[in-house]
Chains A and B, each alone.
Chain A
Amino acid sequence: MNTIQEIQTEIIEDFAMFDDWMQKYEYLIDLGKELSPIEEQYKTEDNLIKGCQSRVWLHAEHTKGKIIYTADSDAIMTKGIVAVLINVLSGQSPSEIANAKLDFINKIGLKEQLSPTRANGLVSMIKQMKIYALAFNN
């Protein structure tokens, strides 16, 4: 398993290949489509993340010292962004997740590409992922 930092570097390299927003968006849409589905039982009101215009469900499980995240969204672009976050964080240990510096977001131009409400949603998603990590760390 690569470290969070290594995965971030890879993602930054991937996004550097795109020349325009359309390729970036198409890539996110593809990632969204490929994201393995969350189990229906976890698509609950409790697992909804606040602050997103579209609905995002996030579930986390702690097994063998690692956190496995699954998620879904009714908007495909949002799902693509969730997929990127899951690629970076899922399968890592709680303490690594809790302490992760996610600087890839600014470097791949995700934040600037996204509208303010969406950027807030992104912040909420990361926050929720870290809250799980802190909870499992105790």
Chain B
Amino acid sequence: MLDINKIRSQFPILNRKVNGKDLVYFDNGATTQKPQSVIDAEANYYTDENSNVHRGVHFLSGLATDKFEETRDAVQDFIGAKHKHEIIFTKGTTDAINLVANAYRILLSKGDEIIISELEHHSNIVPWQMCCEISGASLKVIPLLDNGELDMNEFNNLLSESTKVVAVSHISNALGTISPIEEIISKAHKIGAKVLIDGAQAASHIALDMQKLNADFYCFSAHKMFGPTGVGVLYGKEEILNKLPPYQGGGEMIKEVSFEKTTYACLPHKFEAGTPNISGVIAFKQAIDFITELGVATIAKYEDELLQYATTEILKIEGVKIYGTAKNKSGIISFNIDGLHPYDIGMIIDKMGVAIRTGHHCAQPIMDRFSIPGTARISLSVYNTKAEVDVCMNAIKKAKLMLS
């Protein structure tokens, strides 16, 4: 059993008022709040440890480097990667996907195919479109079923000898669907394609084991799992990362530089050009520790309970339609109310202290699929409570009254 009050007490922002009301933060899909340990680690770095990494001979540089690399170890453990150097630090999920898609501009050519899905966030669509434009490869899209699950029959049909890359999200940020990535990975591997998983929404909700999962690339963002913004991870299998051309050129990613020929550093440095977000990476370890102490499975179970409760409660409100009713679903409720615009709902409940997201959630193709301009989205985290769900429901009812 989780002690939610104890968990909440670690998140100072949860004590603040918004528009004179207690904050109910239900926009965790966009970014989660940060525990004190993460905030302290950021501050402590600048107070006591600030120095550049991987290059100094002096004491502080050694200290910063050690702490920076401790996070890499922690990430390796957290996702069950085989090697430490398979963990590449990036700015976030978007940056990680761009790194891979950029490399494939060179590796792919006309006739090759990339498969994505209708469920993707724009950051797992646009980099692949850019890749296709330059490489001449073409983009195929796995369609959605009405309940927000991937149409796996269509996926089977799309797979062919020409498929070189399959890039899909583990959990949809717009609908909450958890996709059967194990099946996708094994089927794609059978025909020799590589698989990238966008794990932005999954990393703190599903226990990860890269060696078992066997994905070729897995991307996620620290800020969606209680860590700082501006830090993300690209996991890639060693032998594949070794074959990819570097992304950005600069300091840190080289072995030797001359005007005739430059050779590149080994993994992971080959993909980490320039001074990274050192404080962020160091503080990210505290976020991972926070999750591991609670246990991903325990967190998921609690969030699932909250999701069931919130789903039951919201369906009691007349005219509510939930988008995304997959059997396997994470703590996200995307909804509309008959005749009302999600924006109006979001604006009004904000006045009552309830923070939700409205709009297309950077996933316009999903909105087109359901012929709607957008939805209102509740996304839950481990520090949320049933009492907060009640506050949110009352706020929605009040908004509905004002608007109809």
Residues of A within 8 A of B19 (CB): 21
Q: Scan B333-348; emit 1 where CB is below 8 A from any A CB, else 0.
A: 0000000110110011
A23 to B350, CA, bound (A): 15
Chain A positions within 8 Å of B374 at CB level: 53
Q: Is B4 an interface residue (CB 8 A)?
A: no
B403 interface residue (CB < 8 Å to A): yes
User: Judging by beta carbons under 8 Å apart, are A75 and B343 in contact?
Assistant: yes
Q: Are B350 and A75 in contact (CB under 8 A)?
A: no
Task: Tell me which residues from 19 to 37 in chain A have a Cβ below 8 Å from any Cβ of chain B.
Answer: 21-22, 25-26, 29
Contact digits for A107-127, partner B, Cβ 8 Å, 1 yes 0 no = 000000011001000000000
A53-B358, A53-B359, A54-B373 known; A75 vs B402 contact (CB < 8 Å):
no
- CB nearest neighbor in A for B19: A21
How large, as a class, is the contact surface on chain A? 10 to 19
In the assembled complex, the CB of B20 is this many whole angstroms from the nearest CB of chain A, namely: 9
Counting chain B CB atoms within 10 Å of each CB, the highest count among A29, A74, A77, A78 belongs to A77
List residues 7-24 of chain B with CB under 8 A from any CB of chain A.
Answer: 19
The answer on a CB contact under 8 Å between B359 and A22 is no
Residues of chain A contacted by B110 (CB below 8 angstroms): none
Do the beta carbons of B403 and A29 come within 8 Å of each other?
A: yes
- Closest approach, in angstroms, between the C-beta of B187 and any C-beta of chain A? 39
**Does B351 count as interface, using CB distance less than 8 angstroms?**
yes
Are A25 and B402 CB-contacts (below 8 A) given A53-B343, A54-B343, A77-B344? Answer: yes
Which residues of the partner chain A approach B359 to less than 8 Å between Cβ atoms? 53
Q: Tell me if A26 and B358 are in contact (CB < 8 A).
A: no
Kindly state the separation between the CA atoms of A8 and B344 in the bound complex, as whole angstroms. Answer: 25
Complexed CA–CA distance, A25 and B373 (Å): 22
Contact B351 A22 (CB under 8 A): yes
Contact with A along B320-358 (1 / 0, CB 8 A): 000000000000000000001101100110110000001
What 6 A-B pairs have minimum CB-CB distances, sorted nearest first?
Answer: A75-B341, A75-B343, A54-B343, A77-B344, A75-B344, A21-B351
